Amino acid sequence: MASVISVSWPAPRGVGGAAVSLRKLEKRFAGRKVLRALSLEVARGLFVCIVGRSGCGKTTLLRIVAGLESLDDGEISVSSASGSSAGACDVRLMFQDARLLPWKSVADNVRLGMSKAALPAAIAALQAVGLEDRAADWPAALSGGQRQRVALARALVHRPQLLLLDEPLGALDALTRIEMHALLERLWLESGFTTLLVTHDVQEAVALADRIIVIDEGTIVFDEAVNLRRPRIRASREFAAVEQSVLREVLRTRAPL
Amino acid sequence: MDDGRAFARRLLPWMVPALILASWEYTARTGMLSTCVLPEPWAVVKAAWHLTQTGELWSNLGVSAGRAFAGLVVGGGLGLALGLFTGLSRRAEIALDTTVQMLRNIPPLALIPLVILWFGIDEGAKLFLVALGVFFPVYLNTFHGIRSVDRGLIEMARSYGLTRWGLYREVILPGAMPSILVGLRYAMGLMWVLLIVAETVSASSGIGYMTMNAREFLQTDVVLVGVLTYALLGKLADVAARKLERLCLRWHPSYQ
């Protein structure tokens, strides 16, 4: 069977993305090792999906890159497009739940932490996710998918060079999820930021990723480029072949006790 | 026919009060009920009219309301400030919370003898009692509200660059607001109870004074006017608190 997975990485598209370099990351929670000497280099503008069973350490990895967890050992460097080390503003994390402030309007949620002058930028970001007409609504009036789109707008309004996505579509229904994939892909192609998406949905990873990484017990056990043309057609034979090979890898990993 | 049924349904809740009122009027008029025990409802209405005409009711009402709200502002303000302090700082909680929890279990009314010794029967005594009573519900709900703000929202706000002051103002305080308002509403109910007791113990003005004075002269109708005024004031305070909730929690799903 001809493998559609090649060993060479596809050429990075964007120049606005940050490069990520992780060296020998170690993390323990209450004596249990969550990350074991994990090293990873991500080129600028790449869309990388990190796949694994729940409890494999993939979310911890993302939270460490976002600066929400401390590191026991190892080194992280995120270098921005201009070559300098990226400030916190260049990295944005989208959570599994939207985490919108219920007491702020949609537009005010998007411009969180920014001045009033940022309102046009917030509206523009809402426009990018197709929710500009809901700008004045309360988050409680939105559906789950709409809330995640607002959260995405909130992350994008800062023009991040590295976007971290922690299973942001996990709680959405299948149809909404497919729409969100297309939206994410479009915004990523337009803006050229580097993306790390953590997911346990192999199909999602194959639909979006330039490169898929499988993590098991805190280390990388699989790391391959995906050379499928975009937009990817889920029904195609190539898509199914990639999905099958990644799924096999994930299923080989042991389920945590 | 549907209109008639709807009208009947609207009327139904008032049936029992109307029945009670009617039988009360009847028993009072026929002399089965002595006016020393309970005056007839019509007499109460007349007394209320008379008191408003002489201005006695309004001046006493003003004095009582002034005392109640002064106590609420002092006690509630202190409770809010201390609740914010212990809610935001672990060290302050460790240092102060045990003490507050101990003091909380003392009924404010148990302090009346001490209060009279300290403040005499002055305005200070009433203010102190009301302030002390409303302090605890406001304090407890503020503290609890701050501690129960969603950790995920705080983490999110931090990662979006909100610093201390911005974090308090945009995330922690609004997140604690529903709980703080519950405390305020509870405090407003308690405020009247404490004021009534304080005014009944000793006063030379206010609704409590008016009723106690009337008791001396066996004016049961005036006593009842006082009691009903308290009910009305309590209801007004509750409506005000609800309005405030509606205003501050417009974003909350239960107010949309």
Contact B153 A101 (CB under 8 A): yes
Give CA torsion, residues B114, B115, B116, B118, to 10 deg.
Answer: 90
pLDDT per position as a tens digit, B196-244: 888 888 778 888 889 888 888 888 889 989 988 888 888 888 888 889 9
Q: What is the pLDDT of residue A5?
A: 37
**B186 assigned to some structural domain:** yes
A233 close contact with B: CB closer than 8 A: no
Is A220 within 8 Å of A231 (Cβ atoms)? no
Contact A93 B159 (CB under 8 A): yes
Please give the average per-residue pLDDT across B107-112, as a whole number: 86
- CA angle, corner B165, sides to B140 and A118, nearest 5? 130
> What is the tally of structural domains in chain B?
1
**Secondary structure of residue A73 in the 3-state scheme:** strand
A67 close contact with B: CB closer than 8 A: yes
ipTM: 0.83
Assess whether pLDDT exceeds 90 at residue A190.
Answer: no
Q: What is the pLDDT of residue A255?
A: 65
Tokens of B125: 């005594």
Assess whether pLDDT exceeds 80 at residue A10.
Answer: no
**B174 assigned to some structural domain:** yes
pLDDT per position as a tens digit, A15-72: 478 889 899 988 998 888 888 988 999 998 899 999 988 888 899 999 999 888 888 9
Cβ atoms within 10 Å of A223's Cβ, excluding its own: 14
Dist CA A230 CA A185 (whole Å): 9
**B224 assigned to some structural domain:** yes
Q: Where are the domains of chain A?
A: 19-86+162-252, 103-160
φ/ψ (deg, to 5) at B154: -65, -45
Could you give the percent of chain A with pLDDT greater than 90?
44
Q: What is the pLDDT of residue A1?
A: 36
**B35 assigned to some structural domain:** no
Closest CB to B171 among A67, A101, A138: A101
Q: Which domain holds residue B216?
A: 43-255
Contact B157 A66 (CB under 8 A): no
Residue tagged 């209060």 (tokens): B115
Assess whether pLDDT exceeds 50 at residue A95.
Answer: yes
What's the pLDDT band for A11 if we cut at 50, 70, 90? very low
Cβ atoms within 10 Å of A96's Cβ, excluding its own: 16
pLDDT per position as a tens digit, B140-184: 999 999 999 999 999 999 888 888 888 999 999 999 999 999 999
- CA angle, corner B85, sides to B84 and B86, nearest 5? 95
pLDDT per position as a tens digit, B75-86: 999 999 999 999
User: Among all residues of chain B, which has the CA nearest to that of A164?
Assistant: B159
Assess whether pLDDT exceeds 50 at residue A4.
Answer: no
Q: What is the pLDDT of residue B124?
A: 87
Higher local confidence (pLDDT), A82 or A185: A185
Assess whether pLDDT exceeds 70 at residue A134.
Answer: yes
**B177 assigned to some structural domain:** yes
Neighbouring-strand partners of residue A130: none
Assess whether pLDDT exceeds 90 at residue A133.
Answer: yes
Tokens of A236: 């195609």
Dist CA B141 CA B186 (whole Å): 10
Contact B251 A89 (CB under 8 A): no
Mean confidence (pLDDT) of chain A: 86
B-chain CB neighbours of A62 within 8 Å are none
CATH assignment of the domain containing B245: 1.10.3720.10
Dist CA A44 CA B128 (whole Å): 67
**Secondary structure of residue A215 in the 3-state scheme:** strand
pLDDT per position as a tens digit, B85-106: 999 888 998 899 889 888 888 8
Q: Is the peptide bond before A102 cis (omega within 30 degrees of 0)?
A: no
Q: Tell me which H or E stretch contains A28.
A: strand A19-29
**B117 assigned to some structural domain:** yes
pLDDT per position as a tens digit, A172-184: 888 888 888 999 9
- Place domain A19-86+162-252 in its CATH homologous superfamily: P-loop containing nucleotide triphosphate hydrolases (3.40.50.300)
Q: What is the pLDDT of residue A88?
A: 56
Assess whether pLDDT exceeds 60 at residue A13.
Answer: no
Instruction: Return all residues near A97 (Cβ < 8 A) that are at least 6 apart.
Output: A171, B152
Please give the average per-residue pLDDT across B35-53, as a whole number: 87
What's the pLDDT band for A87 if we cut at 50, 70, 90? low
pLDDT per position as a tens digit, A138-150: 999 999 999 999 9
**B30 assigned to some structural domain:** no
**Secondary structure of residue A220 in the 3-state scheme:** strand
